[in-house]
Amino acid sequence: MASFFRRTISSQLVRICGGSEEVFIPLLSAVPVSKRQSTPEFRLAVSALVQNGFLSPEEDLLDQTERLARQLKVNSVIEEVTTGRGVINFRVNKLLLAQKVLSELREDPQTFGLKSEILRTLPRGRTLVEYSSPNIAKKFHAGHLRSTIIGHFIANLKQALGNDVIRVNYLGDWGMQFGLLGVGFQRLGSTEKLKENALQHLFEVYVQVNREAEHDESVRSDAADFYRRLEQHDEQALLLWKQFREITVQEYKRIYQRLGVHFDHYSGESFHQSKTQEVLNDLRKLGLLKTTEKGTGVVDLSEQGDMSSYSTVMRSDGTSLYITRDVAAALDRKQIFGFDEMIYVTDKSQSVHFQQLFQILRVMGHHWAHRCVHVPFGLVKGMSTRRGDVVFLEDVIDEAQNRMMHNMNQSKTSKAVSDPEQTADQIGISALIIQDFKGPLMADYVFDWERVLQAQGDTGVFLQYTHARLCSLLRTHGDETLTHLDASHLQDQRSVSVLQHLLRYDEVLLQSALELQPRYLVSYLLMLCHLVSSAHRHLPVKGSATDVAQARLRLFSGTCSVLASGMKILGVCPVEKM
Ligand code: ARG
């Protein structure tokens, strides 16, 4: 589809400018559809030809643009060539547009757009994505929810683009807090309650023991003692810790399943504990570990070697820190998984931490640290539920589900859904995800349930609603394979707009992958929904002549599958009825 048109235009450019089609193909961008006027399908920025040495930087750009445009010929594929300021616009034959787009969609709706030539410029390989990474016994805050859904999206996207993806959850399962938790559980814990609601119980114990530790010195020293025993692998201490960890992981797995999220590996800070001493030894051997007056171990990260920037990797008692464990974890992962790139997803407060981590790896001589990336995101304010401030992930999902159930009960169409609770769950989650993905990830935003769950406007509910409507249309009218498509029935402005928009899917995926930002895909899908809803309202299937009806059904079914595959990449499970 898009490749076919890009290639045809490129072959003309080769004829005039020389070079090869491969050079021109990525320079041709599909023009977004505008609601107000019809736009050309493809655009070439002439400055790119100057940059690539095909045009002269000396001569006036507008003159060169005009001359090049005159040399380009219209033919059976390219219908019109026009110029704008420094750009050349191409309009393609609309019959071909419909035929190419819809036949590719018919051949393999799942991979539509994903095999496009412009995506071949992306590096492929093994990608490790680390996301979610909550801390045992602590609050699962909105930041963890964001990390979970953003990381899931990045992993899905990388996978869809042909990478071998490894999904890792790096739990906060080690550190002084386990000394407190251990002591707290011995004093206040109940195995019964642990079985009933592990996350809640561990959290309560942790909060309570922290309170006691504030004014009771003996609690503090018991906790320090417990943690020491843990570090020395005391069997009993470890046994209790293991129980906390296992039960927590089990609970999380269940909740992640509701979100449609999964991991290949549950790792955590504890896993790399033993390796941290090796890391410190390596740093020492390389002459990178400096001891300060206070006895702590630091790595100088400044360019001038004047300690204007440094990272502390060892406490004065010789124990490791968060960053030391991260260095050990990165080295372990490289060894075990042999990844080509590694992506960490956390809120932006950890940006400095990750920049330091990558820098330490680089000064240690690990050149692959250049392919480690931190994807930071902003804060969410005001995420609360009827129970109050959000403490547990499940509370947010439950709240979304309940509110969605309530909305569905008030609408007439939803009565027919066979499993309303599950549907409400999925739509509620979609709404959370889309709301979160609409803006740049770095931006902070204020959470608002009313806005999140609106059925109209740019929400996850609207995406789901449009998808369900299309599914219902296809159910009613059948979606049998057509060998013949009469594209002349898809020449009205509404059909053409949908088709033209479909032409841009590969470019949107490319941009999403280059920037690791979901917002391009989100606005693309929302626009697709607006365009197809308008087409659906004005282009009836029922009551139309058979070949007209069939052509329209092809358009709707193709759109429906692109919508579904885009939603799945975002981590949104498309519902067929609502
Ligand atoms: N558990 C950490 C937190 O809740 C996030 C872990 C991020 N990943 C890492 N490799 N440090 O803040």
pLDDT score for 418: 84
Read off the pLDDT of residues 94-103 as tens digits, 9 standing for 90 and up: 999 999 999 9
pTM: 0.95
Position 1 confidence tier, pLDDT thresholds 50, 70, 90: low
Note the CATH architecture for domain 426-570. Answer: Orthogonal Bundle (1.10)
In the structure, what pLDDT confidence band is assigned to residue 36 with cuts at 50, 70 and 90?
confident
Quick check: CB of 172 below 6 Å from ligand 1? yes
Tokens 């799945």, residue located: 568
pLDDT at residue 314 is higher than 80:
yes
Determine whether the shortest distance from the Cβ of 326 to ligand 1 is under 6 A.
yes
CA of 200 to the centre of ligand 1 (A): 20
Q: Is 344 in the pocket of ligand 1 (CB under 6 A)?
A: yes
More confident residue, 485 or 369: 369
The pLDDT value given to residue 273:
82
Ligand 1 centroid–CA 397 distance in Å is 22
Report which protein residue has its CA nearest ligand 1's atom 4. Answer: 134
Q: What kind of fold does domain 126-377 have according to CATH?
A: Rossmann fold (3.40.50)
Mean pLDDT on 212-227: 94
CB 380 within 8 A of CB 142: yes
Ligand 1 site-directed mutation target among 129, 146, 168, 170, most atoms within 8 Å of CB: 170
Residue among 258, 305, 7, 2 nearest 148 (CA): 258
Closest CA to 508 of 107, 61, 118: 118
Q: Which residue lies with its CA nearest to atom 11 of ligand 1? A: 326
- In this structure, which residue's CA is closest to atom 5 in ligand 1? 133
Mutate which of 177, 178, 345, 346 for ligand 1 pocket (most atoms within 8 A of beta carbon) = 346
Is there a common fold for 2-92 and 426-570?
no
Whole-number average pLDDT of the chain: 93
Indicate whether residue 174 lines ligand 1 (CB < 6 A).
Answer: no
Active site residues: 138, 141, 144
Q: Looking at the predicted complex, does its ipTM rise above 0.95? A: yes
Domain boundaries, the chain: 2-92, 126-377, 426-570
Which DSSP string corresponds to 341-355?
EEEEEEEGGGHHHHH
Query: How many CB atoms within 10 Å of residue 93?
Result: 19
Q: Which residue has the tokens 């979901």?
A: 518
Query: For the segment 499-550, what is each residue's pLDDT rounded down to a tens digit?
Result: 999 999 999 999 999 999 999 999 999 999 999 999 999 999 999 999 999 9
> Is the beta carbon of 346 within 6 A of some atom in ligand 1?
yes
At which residue do the structure tokens 């004093």 appear? 187
- ∠ CA 445-393-429, nearest 5°, is 65
Which residues are 345's β-sheet partners?
375
pLDDT band at 413 (very low <50, low <70, confident <90, very high): low
Task: Tell me the pLDDT tens digit for each residue of 433-473.
Answer: 999 999 999 999 998 888 888 888 899 999 999 999 999 99
Lowest mean pLDDT among 126-135, 217-226, 482-491, 554-563: 482-491
3-state helix, strand, coil in the chain (%, to 5): 60, 15, 30
pLDDT of residue 556: 96
Q: Given the DSSP bridges, would you call strands 78-84 and 87-92 parallel, antiparallel or unpaired? A: antiparallel
**Is domain 2-92 annotated with CATH 3.40.30.10?**
no
